[in-house]
């Protein structure tokens, strides 16, 4: 990450961290025991998935309690990010954004949800260089995103989730036009205004 490019994002985080309310705070509190227990149940899984995206509900519900428990035990036992994502996305209906949401809801210190809004903001400020639309993420995209969010979390002594929420909220406030409209690569990326 280039220092000059990050200065806008860092200014934004400096101004808003601790002042932006996390809309998932109650849900995160509900799941605070999961990381220590080192697995989640099917009802917990369904609630996490529906929070991120209710659309594939029937697919989420096609996962058995045994499958969900086995996958979640393996996720919490793994020290490998690629393996964690691979395990979670092996569950029916779970794509990379939902997998990142599950990790975030169970470990907000270390994870933030990869999302179209945050990705578009990072793209506009040249923190990430691909996928201007903020959709169709690969594991490498997620890892690039996660490294940036964790970098700022360490710098500001915040959680990865707190950083993600500030970026999401800022994009939501400043967005013009349709969120899912096709975006092309452009050289005149807007600066974050004070």
Query: How would residue 42 be classed by pLDDT, with cut points 50, 70 and 90?
Result: very high
**Residue with token string 């964690």:** 84
Q: In this model, does residue 45 exceed pLDDT 70? A: yes
Share of the chain above pLDDT 70, in %: 87
Give the residue-averaged pLDDT of 127-153. 93
pTM (two decimals): 0.88
First to last CA, the chain: 21
Give the residue-averaged pLDDT of 28-45. 97
What gap in Å lies between CA 117 and CA 139, rounded to an integer?
18
């Amino acid at each position: 990450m280039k220092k000059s490019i990050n200065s806008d994002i860092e200014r934004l985080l400096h101004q808003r961290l601790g002042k932006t309310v996390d809309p998932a705070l109650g849900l995160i509190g509900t799941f605070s025991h999961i990381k220590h227990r080192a697995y989640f149940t099917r009802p917990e899984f369904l609630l996490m998935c529906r929070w991120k995206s209710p659309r594939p509900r029937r697919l989420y519900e096609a996962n058995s309690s045994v499958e969900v428990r086995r996958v979640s035990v393996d996720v919490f036992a793994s020290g490998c990010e690629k393996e964690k994502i691979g395990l979670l996305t092996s569950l029916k209906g779970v794509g990379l954004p939902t997998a990142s949401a599950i990790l975030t809801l169970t470990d907000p210190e270390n994870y933030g949800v990869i999302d179209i809004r945050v990705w578009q903001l990072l793209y506009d400020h040249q923190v990430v260089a691909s996928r201007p639309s903020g959709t169709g993420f690969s594991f490498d995209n997620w890892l690039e995103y996660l490294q940036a969010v964790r970098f700022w979390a360490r710098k500001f002594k915040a959680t990865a989730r707190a950083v993600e929420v500030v970026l999401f909220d800022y994009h939501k406030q400043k967005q013009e036009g349709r969120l899912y409209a096709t975006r092309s690569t452009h050289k005149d990326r807007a600066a974050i205004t004070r």
